[in-house]
Chains A and B, each alone.
Chain A
């Protein structure tokens, strides 16, 4: 996930700089980068959406570097789903309002999709080690599962 986030950060950084400096975007894959970058939807309440994306990616990176736990996993879900929703909105605008596609924006949306899927999966999976799959050793005293320090549960009869 960190690798993907770094990639997304790179794209967002490039687009933010391009927006503020007014230089022509290098546009891969025959896209309509200029039209998208110059459209009214390239800003939200005066803030370039590229900058919003950049802040989002940096936040995600920050949380990924923090200690792992239920709370951080939830925060990642919030950030990546929010980022995904925003990317979806921007893609909608590209397709139906601007009628031009910027490949940079699309790649960010794809990265965000992967990040959101990974974040949700990790969150729903819960503990760092999957609980159900491992067969229990015979004669094991005490706990039937390995509980991480963040979610201790008192075992009855212990």
Chain B
């Protein structure tokens, strides 16, 4: 028998052609299978390398919460991240101590917050700017800042500095800038150096004055009062379907001059939830 395809005289011409074609197909299939194996190997290799790289990234960036990037010592004054943005936000809006906005505004919102609290940060970054632009700047809403320090001793430290800034009528600027640069809670980042850096990013704030005045008895009394008030509200609202004042941020939203009412927003990142409530109060 001849081994060369297509030369076996026992087969018809047609059958010889068929045989040749079969053999070509078989070789073709073997090539394809080989190529496919190679591709799968390459794919496996790529997946492996990508997985390793991702794990490396994961491990090298882990450890911190969703806070802001660490402040570098060189970032002072206006190079504190978001300093210019914060400055612009409050420019031209009246500020007096803990109050923001026109004293005659028909609606009042009190916030009870912890400067270390990531949810207060979420609210300040996601909702607060809209409220300031749409309602405070236009004289419809006035706000009050109250301390409700629950996370740790650093919270109290930050509160006192905020109150000291309030004595220079820049509390809101300070708090906003603080939130924009907030780090992982209770990680010990609220050092005097950090507070100085943030304060330094608030234009017009006398940093050394604030640093020394934050330990005054007046401020001590103020922050303690706020905290006590928060706990009173906490017991008052404890038995509601959605308990109020059992964490931060907590809000009171009401027509100015009337009894403060609890406001429990369903979202801290969606401004419309707040806007609806404010609009309702403005109409009624």
Please give the residue numbers on chain A whose beta carbons come within 8 Å of chain B beta carbons, in ascending order.
22, 24, 27, 30-36, 38-44, 74, 77-78, 81-82, 84-86, 88-89, 92-93, 97-100, 120, 123-124, 126, 131, 136, 139-140, 143-145, 151, 153, 155-157
Contact = CB atoms under 8 A, between A and B. Distances in A.
Interface stretch (B36-44, B202-210, B275-283): B36-44
A33 B126 contact: yes
Nearest to B88: A22
B118 interface: yes
27 contacts: A27-B269, A30-B267, A30-B269, A30-B270, A32-B122, A34-B126, A35-B66, A35-B126, A38-B125, A40-B67, A82-B53, A84-B50, A85-B50, A89-B57, A89-B58, A97-B64, A99-B118, A123-B43, A126-B32, A131-B28, A144-B21, A151-B35, A153-B28, A153-B31, A155-B24, A156-B23, A157-B24
A85 B39 contact: no
A35 B35 contact: no
* Chain B binding surface SS class: helix
Contact of B43 (A30, A34, A77): A77
B46 interface: yes
Which of B58, B126, B129 has its CB near the most chain A CB atoms (within 10 A)?
Answer: B126
Interface of B: 4-6, 17, 20-21, 23-25, 27-28, 31-32, 35-36, 39-40, 42-43, 46-47, 50-51, 53-54, 57-58, 61, 64-70, 82, 84-85, 118, 121-122, 125-126, 129, 180, 267, 269-270
B43 A41 contact: no
B184 to A, nearest CB: 9
B152 to A, nearest CB: 19
Q: Closest 8 interchain pairs by CB?
A: A98-B66, A34-B125, A32-B269, A85-B50, A30-B270, A39-B66, A85-B54, A40-B69
A42 B121 CA distance: 16
Given A126-B36, A155-B24, A22 B269 contact: no
A35 B65 contact: no
Given A123-B43, A155-B24, A157-B20, A40 B64 contact: yes
A89 to B, nearest CB: 5
A126 B51 CA distance: 24
Contacts of B17: 139
A151 B38 CA distance: 14
B46 A78 contact: yes
A77 B46 contact: yes
Contact of B54 (A35, A40, A86, A123): A86
Which of A30, A40, A140 has its CB near the most chain B CB atoms (within 10 A)?
Answer: A40
B66 A40 contact: yes
A44 B57 CA distance: 9
Given A93-B61, A155-B24, A155-B27, 17 more contacts: A30-B267, A32-B126, A34-B125, A35-B122, A35-B269, A36-B66, A39-B66, A40-B66, A43-B69, A81-B47, A85-B51, A97-B65, A100-B66, A126-B32, A144-B28, A156-B24, A157-B5
